[in-house]
Structure 1
């Protein structure tokens, strides 16, 4: 199958095509062979001659071609074949709706801000003439002319630049909520309408300069917030684009065929060229290679992978070629699951409990103060009522309060993404700064288990290779740390067996049919199905058994993670008390706790026991961080105020975790806590600033001491202060020299 023919798959085409409102399809192509203007003209004419083609846009500098056409009349494979026939082979670029929406939003926000800025500068020029006219240097007709010029210049600002405020206010009213858009829209509308009326009458004050500066400065603050939010989103969303769209699959006859990577299945053999991107999770079946896993693990140094070891989708082959036996493809790959979690990260930015409620209360008070100010001045001096009410409405705008938490959180999430920490719940990040207790699982979290194949002990006369093959057949179906340790140690050394009807029991083991008989792998009590257990077996971490009894026992030794001691020591130094809760035996837990200087440890803990331990800590008033790696940790992670999981853990553990340590390093907790503490400080500073500003500005405005134009500048500058203060989060903590902070490697579109 040719590369062009592979794109006939509708599921593959959906990843690169965008459907327009007019029903046409749009695609972006990378064309390397665009060397001169004549070639560009020839290519444009050839593609435009195809049936259904509406538009061809060629950017020779960027080597990009964008085509809009009707796929019903010319298929995508036909389009690509015509590019190749013209001597310009084209590679479709992945279409990302989130990326497109993000770019469109940024472009729209920038246009609105620029229009507002140009209008504001021009209106301020007209206002200068009007203000001079107050002291009679300018005659009435000239001042009236500049009023009309100010009106005409303000119209595009109000009806275009400020439209987002009006639409936002309408949404808030339909939802019966009081948000930050309502007072902004009211202020702009009232001031503009009053100014139009006074312009038509030829008398009274006009506030076109106030409206212009108000809208421009507020749009500037929102643009900074939007840019920070999008930068943070791009960090996590890079995972979505990590895998290639096409792969070279080896057929039974040994020939290669180009197929969609999402159509790969377990057991397929894939060929990867030097410099290609691994299209699926699988096992290396050729000679040793070096891979770049910077995007996935944060490790910028090349990683050596031997025959029989795993390669992960999204990693880049630095030395090749290589042959891969697929284990997981498409949505089942590790990088795809992390990409799906990016959606939860985007939700985390808008799910802060209490933030919207605080804004709603503030808006209610602002509207009440505005009405009371107007009523008060109507009794004292009706001519000043409108100015004073507008000044209160503008100067007390809740934007500073509303922007504090979202902007600071967005900045924090972006900084944590640089440290390879993915946050799925913004509330948990706020709580992390208050954590005073940390509860750790042992196996796979504080330690890395290792199986010494030489100490595997068959118990019924079977060969060591045979029991290892049986055990691997079951262990390969689980992501538990011990199961992974067994699989990694055995892979490539024995011929694997096949397991069917596999069932996993949390905190116990795995059961399945291997070579026609039912086998159990796990704790002795589980493996022997509740039968009496010899004391020597009871202490073993893993036993393989069938219906007749034990077949083998496996000896594991555990190594503390390289960064465990330093991480725990720093947490302790920050006032966090430490605890270990493990399902392992007491002697093993004690052997780990002693060198780590942890006196509070608990052994033989079932999931319910760990949950009860957590509840007791919470009942004592502690804010608890739970760190785990394994399905039996899922209840614990779900119940803790803050939870973290290493990405080497099971899917269930990761689904329950608030923080994902993408590089599998515990010291990511230190980065997360440092940024969370800094975020807590900045939020407090911004809130105090907003409160102080309103306590000073609102009374002055209510007593008529602040004109509307000054109120607009004051409110807008207060919002800018909040945004700029939020950008300080993580700046002092950033360690850009850390090799793990290297930029992500973008995957190629074809693994070839």
Structure 2
């Protein structure tokens, strides 16, 4: 039986197939090996040639392929085998992944653009005949015919292609706010109605060429921005698609069975073949393995994992086979949490329009200026009032001003995703660029704890293995970095003990019943508090205790996390005040702070203490950045102006963070700040260009020196240039060195 035969099972196929009304089935597939356009075209042709295939849609940035076909003529296993035969192995995705929203949005925008483009070219041809008639003789009936042809050809542009502007204007009026769609809709409607009236009466100027060109160029700018926004969502799709749907579970008799990955339970043993994808989060039970975690971390180099270390769902096994003991599956895996955060990030991207107040003021000034122009010409020469007013309305349209930030922000989000930073709130980048105070958690954030078995100190004559086994039972229930370091050191233990009635005390430790005894693991003052015993000589050790006192002390060493030095040096170079607040002992906090040259450090800090220090900085008028990874950091992250969490941190910390560092490398946060400052500069320059253009062009339009068609070209090209300029975000040298101090950005290959 080949690897695809399992998909013939009706219950398994029902998870990925969506039935259609026409009797066909639809499926979404993840295909990683889509490298170039020729390969995409060849794959599409090959799949289309299969019996019963109706439609194939390939989204190369998101590595997704959607197929609509008759499953009776080509069964699902045969379809998957065809992908494999084309050297493009496909993984079926849950049926919920079949979302038409993005494809429908892009398809609709393209249709509006194409209709406007074709009609505008045709109208320009008709207008050329009329313009020739100004300098050469063209009889009246011919001019009238071409005016009517221009009117008929403009109808699809006004009533179809311009529909997004009219719908947007209606929404703005209903919301009692002024936006960019209102002046566009007014300009299109007024110019079309006036031109139509002049066509009916057979005299007067017509501007059908201006209307169609205006709509076409505006739609072109919006389409470029839309494509950029969709491309930046590819990482989120990749994270959602990371984990496979099938797994090879080992039964009690040692045989393998194919089961849905979502059905895996903690404690299940899973077999992963070489080249296979890890189906769940768990602990490696083989001697060692080499895995590719690029999809989740952005790190292009393979990672070596030893027995007892954790593997995350979505990683690719490069050397195998391997055995995995499941800890988390389904929606609780790291990949699933990243998928949820990516969805949240995409929702934030739909709200990345600039401030309504700024746009409202801009639009109000444009409308007032248009009215004043019309009034002035009515007093001087009423026959030129309409043309001059329309020219002002078109040339001063705030489209380029309004597109500057959304286009630049969309580009910035995509660049950061490629560099291992997931932004869950688009507004956070603007705040990050203005930060002047940064507060860091220590353990697990700036420092990575490690436990050497020689640093285990039994205090009652027990063996190091036994006390480590007791501590592991409690540490296994916590995601705190100290607990993880202790649990990792105990992975080689046989027959691990189970803890009951476990309770995690934020910033202090863990308590629970192990082997019939109530134990406490954590800071010495917490572990020994019930018994009232004096603290050990090394009071900063991690202590395991029961009602009779200390059982063992664990002396954990701590190393600075990768990128910590670079990040802190970058922030200091920018004049940002840096502080460390930790619940750890003074000696450990001081040791790491000295290694990182941080003078402002605070030890024995509870979550409330950390938040109070952040609020004190707020009271001084500072803009604050908080960085943490634990559940006890959630209040700190939520209270900061902008916050960042590590992907290895707790789900609670991630849910309160504005930025998520997928690779666990703090240097990525330095990249994020540099990109944020670039974003700020590019946005300012785009808006500055828009304002200078308006200041230069509006007087000419107001004095009747700019015709509506010329105003449409100028304004539309201005908007298109602003969108193209926004693509400079993330390019080295796009912003002057004075704009973005610090080291150059670190390139990173995106494997998503």
Give the TM-score taking structure 1 as reference length. 0.89
Cα distance in 2 for residues equivalent to 1:672 and 1:280: 30
Question: Are residues 542 and 161 of structure 1, via their aligned partners in 2, closer, same or farther at CA, if it must alter by over 3 Å?
Answer: same
Deviations 1:274-304 (A, max 9, x none): 1000010011112311111111122212111
Question: Are residues 153 and 270 of structure 1, via their aligned partners in 2, closer, same or farther at CA, if it must alter by over 3 Å?
Answer: same
Deviation at 1:225, TM superposition (A): 0.7
Cα distance in 1 for residues equivalent to 2:50 and 2:102: 31
Contact 2:4 2:80 in 1 (8 A): no
Alignment-derived partner of residue 318 in structure 1: 318
Contact 1:265 1:327 in 2 (8 A): yes
Secondary structure class of the residue paired with 1:26: strand
CA RMSD of aligned residues (A): 3.4
Cα distance in 2 for residues equivalent to 1:399 and 1:739: 34
Deviation at 1:13, TM superposition (A): 3.4
Question: Are residues 292 and 30 of structure 1, via their aligned partners in 2, closer, same or farther at CA, if it must alter by over 3 Å?
Answer: closer
Q: Spell out the pairing of 1:257-406 with structure 2 (5 A cutoff).
A: 257-352=257-352, 355-406=355-406
Question: Are residues 155 and 420 of structure 1, via their aligned partners in 2, closer, same or farther at CA, if it must alter by over 3 Å?
Answer: same
Question: Are residues 516 and 8 of structure 1, via their aligned partners in 2, closer, same or farther at CA, if it must alter by over 3 Å?
Answer: farther
Question: Are residues 657 and 227 of structure 1, via their aligned partners in 2, closer, same or farther at CA, if it must alter by over 3 Å?
Answer: same
Secondary structure class of the residue paired with 1:649: coil
Unaligned runs of 5+ in 2: 34-41, 735-741
Deviation at 1:356, TM superposition (A): 2.4
Deviations 1:472-513 (A, max 9, x none): 122122111101111111112443212233221211111223
Contact 2:409 2:679 in 1 (8 A): yes
Question: Are residues 185 and 541 of structure 1, via their aligned partners in 2, closer, same or farther at CA, if it must alter by over 3 Å?
Answer: farther
Alignment-derived partner of residue 688 in structure 2: 688
Deviation at 1:209, TM superposition (A): 0.7
Alignment-derived partner of residue 570 in structure 1: 570
Question: Are residues 436 and 84 of structure 1, via their aligned partners in 2, closer, same or farther at CA, if it must alter by over 3 Å?
Answer: closer
Cα distance in 2 for residues equivalent to 1:238 and 1:142: 59
Stretch moving more, 590-599 or 391-400: 590-599
Contact 2:522 2:542 in 1 (8 A): yes
Alignment-derived partner of residue 232 in structure 2: 232
Corresponding position: 1:743 with 2:750: yes
Question: Are residues 379 and 43 of structure 1, via their aligned partners in 2, closer, same or farther at CA, if it must alter by over 3 Å?
Answer: closer
Secondary structure class of the residue paired with 1:536: coil
Contact 2:630 2:650 in 1 (8 A): yes
Deviations 1:568-604 (A, max 9, x none): 2222122222222222222222222223222222222
The number of residue pairs the alignment matches comes to 728
Cα distance in 1 for residues equivalent to 2:369 and 2:83: 71
Question: Are residues 228 and 516 of structure 1, via their aligned partners in 2, closer, same or farther at CA, if it must alter by over 3 Å?
Answer: same
Corresponding position: 1:80 with 2:80: no
Deviations 1:81-128 (A, max 9, x none): 676999999966325757642233223222322222222222212212
Corresponding position: 1:217 with 2:217: yes
Contact 1:232 1:414 in 2 (8 A): yes
Question: Are residues 502 and 517 of structure 1, via their aligned partners in 2, closer, same or farther at CA, if it must alter by over 3 Å?
Answer: same
Question: Are residues 528 and 677 of structure 1, via their aligned partners in 2, closer, same or farther at CA, if it must alter by over 3 Å?
Answer: same
Stretch moving more, 658-667 or 85-94: 85-94
Deviation at 1:621, TM superposition (A): 2.0
Deviation at 1:739, TM superposition (A): 9.1
Deviation at 1:233, TM superposition (A): 1.4
Question: Are residues 555 and 415 of structure 1, via their aligned partners in 2, closer, same or farther at CA, if it must alter by over 3 Å?
Answer: same
Deviations 1:515-571 (A, max 9, x none): 233322112232234442423167134222233332222111111224322332222
Secondary structure class of the residue paired with 1:580: strand
Contact 1:246 1:261 in 2 (8 A): yes
Question: Are residues 83 and 297 of structure 1, via their aligned partners in 2, closer, same or farther at CA, if it must alter by over 3 Å?
Answer: closer
Cα distance in 1 for residues equivalent to 2:50 and 2:705: 68
Contact 1:25 1:68 in 2 (8 A): yes
Alignment-derived partner of residue 51 in structure 1: none
Deviation at 1:218, TM superposition (A): 0.5
Cα distance in 2 for residues equivalent to 1:183 and 1:20: 42
Contact 2:439 2:579 in 1 (8 A): yes
Cα distance in 1 for residues equivalent to 2:747 and 2:687: 34
Alignment-derived partner of residue 672 in structure 1: 672
Contact 2:291 2:305 in 1 (8 A): yes
Q: Spell out the pairing of 1:692-707 with structure 2 (5 A cutoff).
A: 692-707=692-707
Q: Spell out the pairing of 1:166-565 with structure 2 (5 A cutoff).
A: 166-352=166-352, 355-536=355-536, 539-565=539-565
Deviation at 1:5, TM superposition (A): 5.3
Give the TM-score taking structure 2 as reference length. 0.89
Deviations 1:334-380 (A, max 9, x none): 11111110122113324459622322232233333333333333333
Secondary structure class of the residue paired with 2:598: coil
Bigger relative CO (Cα 8 Å, ≥ 6 apart): 1
Cα distance in 2 for residues equivalent to 1:579 and 1:165: 49
Cα distance in 2 for residues equivalent to 1:341 and 1:738: 24
Cα distance in 2 for residues equivalent to 1:36 and 1:106: 22
Unaligned runs of 5+ in 1: 49-54, 746-752
Deviation at 1:455, TM superposition (A): 2.0
Deviation at 1:650, TM superposition (A): 1.6
Corresponding position: 1:93 with 2:92: yes
Stretch moving more, 669-678 or 432-441: 432-441
Secondary structure class of the residue paired with 1:319: coil
Contact 1:6 1:258 in 2 (8 A): no
Deviations 1:35-94 (A, max 9, x none): 999x999962xxx6xxxxxx645899x99893456x9xx7x9x94367699999996632
Deviation at 1:458, TM superposition (A): 2.2
Question: Are residues 57 and 636 of structure 1, via their aligned partners in 2, closer, same or farther at CA, if it must alter by over 3 Å?
Answer: closer
Corresponding position: 1:628 with 2:628: yes
Cα distance in 2 for residues equivalent to 1:701 and 1:207: 15
Stretch moving more, 520-529 or 428-437: 520-529
Stretch moving more, 235-244 or 526-535: 526-535
